[in-house]
Structure 1
C-alpha cells in the first residue's frame, strides 16, 4: 500500500479568494488519501480552520496587505509597502525549510505566496496572473511576478487556455520557461440544478480593509431604496457566526462553504466585487451578477470591464454605483454563457507528486534561494 504524502497548501491572505479557491485543492488531496498541511495567516487561515477543523495548520509570516482609502492611491501605497512584502516573502522562504523537516512535507502548493519554492521537493504555484496589471508599471510588476513564478516547478492556472476564457489576457504570456498547467476555473461549489428562491438579492463582500467597510457602508445606505428581500454577507470571519434581520435585509458576518452554497442557490442576483475567485464561483453556479470592482485594484477593474464589454455582466465604480443600476442585469448574457469545465484536480495532483520517492535520502540541511 502506497504511503500517504504530506502536501503543504498555502494560500495568500489577501481577501478570502485565495483561501476559498484552495478548498477544492484540499478536498482533492484528501480524496487521493494524502494529508493536507494548511499554512497561511490572518483571515485566510481562520476561514480554513473553520472548514477543516481536524487538519494541521501552520501560521506563516504575514504580508500585511491593506488597501488605501482612496483608490487612486493604491499603487503608491503598494510601492510604499513593498519592502515589508518582500521581507515577508524572504521570511516565509526561510521558515519553509523548517516546515519541510518538521512536518515531513512531500510537496508544496502555494496560492500566490511567492516564497514557498524549494529545490528539495516538487513545488507548485497557483496564479492566474501571468500578466500583473498596474497601469503604467504593468511591465515591471509582471516581470517581478514572473521572477518568482519561475522558481516553482509548475504554475497551475485556474482558467482555460482558450480565447473565450474568464481572465482575458491576465492568464497568458509567451514565456516558455514556465511549466503551465491550465486547471479550468476552480470553485468550491457544485451546481445543484434546482432551488427555491428566497432572496431577490445577495450582497457578497470580501477583500482587504478599509475598502470592504467603505463599500459595506455605502450599500447599506443604497439598499434603503430596494424593495426586495436581501441577504447581506459582510465577509468578516469572526469567532462566532452572527445573524441579524433589519426590515428586508438579513445580515450574516460570514457563512461556511455549505451555508454559502445554500445561500447562493436561493438568491436570484449577486452583488459583489469582481475578484477572480468570486467570478469563478458565480460562473460555476450560473448566477446573474453585478460587479463593483475595488477602487484602484487594476485586476478587478480590468475583469469587470472585460465582462461588461463582452455583454456578460454589468458593472459600476464604487463611487458611481446606485441601487437602481441592478435593473441593467437582464440586458446581459450572464456568466453561464461561458462554458468551461474543471480538470480533475486529483489526477493532476497524482501526476505532479508521483515522482516523490518514498524511500529517498533525508533532506539536506540547505534550501535554494
Structure 2
C-alpha cells in the first residue's frame, strides 16, 4: 500500500478532527495513512487510530493573549519562534520520508510538512488570513507557503452560498487551489433529544479555560439537561455528573457524534471545523468567538448577518442570550459527498 503522511497543525482540535475523514478516506481507498503532529492534536488522532504509525513533530507552541485586544501583537512577536519550528519540522519530515519511503503528504496548515520529491497537499480554509490592518501581509506570506505544495485543498464549495466566505475565496485565483467540499467526521442520525444544550469547547489556552469558567458560572441559572465537553484530551476519559450537567474532559468521534445528534442546541466557538460539523448535522447553535481571533470573529459576524447563528463577545455572554437561538434559522444540511478516489489520484 502507498504510504501517505497526514500532518495536522496542533492549534485547538479543529485541524486534527477534520483530518479524521481524510484518514478514513485513505484507508477506504487502499492507502496506508501515517500520522504526524504534536500535543493534543497528536493525542486525539492516536486515540482515534491506535493501529496507525505516528510521529511527533516540533510544536509551534502558539500562545494566546489573555486580553483579546493583544491577540495580533502576541501572534506577531511569536513569528520567529514559529519560523524556527517550521524549519525543524522540514528537517524531521525529510528524515521520515527517507527512512519510511512515503508516496505523498497531506498537511493541514503545517507549513513545513512538504517535499519537492513527493506529491504534497496543503489543507486550509484561509486563502485570506485576516489580521485586521495587516491582512494583506499575512495573506501574502500564507500564499507563498501554499504555492510550495502541488495542491491546496479548501474544505468548502467554490461558489455561493458557501461556509468560509472571504476566508476561503479570493478575487485573485490561486492556480493550485481545489475546492473539495466541507469536511466533517460526523453524520446526521435520527435520535431522541437527550440534552437541551451541548457545550463544546476547544482551542489554545488560556482562552479555553476562561470561557469554560464563564459558561460554568452562567449555567447555574440554566434548568435544562446539559452535556459539557471541555475539549481537554487526556490519557483517560473522565465523566462527572453535577446536578443537571454531565461533564466530559473529551469525547472520541463516535461519542461526540451521538452527543451532537442527541442535543437540541450547541454552545461553542465559531471555529471553521465546528461550522462544518454544524452544517453537516443541520444544527442550531450560539457562537462565542475567541477574543481577538479575526477568523472566528469574521465567521460569527457572517452567520449572524445571514440570520443563521446568533453570537456575542465572550465578555458579554449571559445564559439568557441562548433564547435568541430560536430566532435564527440554523444551518441547512450539507449532503455533498467528497470524491476521495479523484482527490487521491494525485498520489
Q: Same fold (TM over 0.5)?
A: yes
Matches within 5 A, 1:62-81: 62-81=59-78
With normalisation by structure 2, the TM-score equals 0.98
What does residue 259 of structure 1 align with?
Answer: 255
Contact 2:307 2:329 in 1 (8 A): yes
Instruction: Work out the CA distance in 2 between the residues paired with 1:121 and 1:50.
Output: 28
Contact 2:280 2:334 in 1 (8 A): no
- Can you list the C-alpha shifts for 1:3-26, whole angstroms capped at 9, x where unaligned? x10000000000000000000000
What does residue 199 of structure 2 align with?
Answer: 203
Task: Structure 2: state its 5+ residue gaps.
Answer: none
Tell me, what secondary structure is at the counterpart of 2:316? coil
Tell me, what secondary structure is at the counterpart of 2:266? strand
With normalisation by structure 1, the TM-score equals 0.92
Asked if 1:306 corresponds to 2:307, the answer is no
Deviates further, 202-211 or 170-179:
170-179
Tell me, what secondary structure is at the counterpart of 1:200? strand
Contact 1:155 1:178 in 2 (8 A): no
Task: Structure 1: state its 5+ residue gaps.
Answer: 354-369
Alpha-carbon spacing, 1:279–1:84, altered in 2? closer, same or farther (3 Å) = same
Instruction: Please tell me the root mean square deviation across aligned C-alpha atoms, in Å.
Output: 1.0
What does residue 183 of structure 1 align with?
Answer: 180
Q: CA deviation at 1:340?
A: 5.6
Q: CA deviation at 1:201?
A: 0.2
The structure having more radius of gyration, on CA atoms, is 1
Which residue, out of 134, 141, 144, partners 1:144? 141
Which residue, out of 275, 280, 301, partners 1:279? 275
Instruction: Work out the CA distance in 2 between the residues paired with 1:332 and 1:188.
Output: 25
Alpha-carbon spacing, 1:28–1:241, altered in 2? closer, same or farther (3 Å) = same
What does residue 332 of structure 1 align with?
Answer: 328
Contact 1:186 1:342 in 2 (8 A): no
Which residue, out of 114, 119, 125, partners 1:128? 125
Tell me, what secondary structure is at the counterpart of 1:319? helix
Q: CA deviation at 1:119?
A: 1.2
Alpha-carbon spacing, 1:281–1:295, altered in 2? closer, same or farther (3 Å) = same
Q: CA deviation at 1:178?
A: 3.1
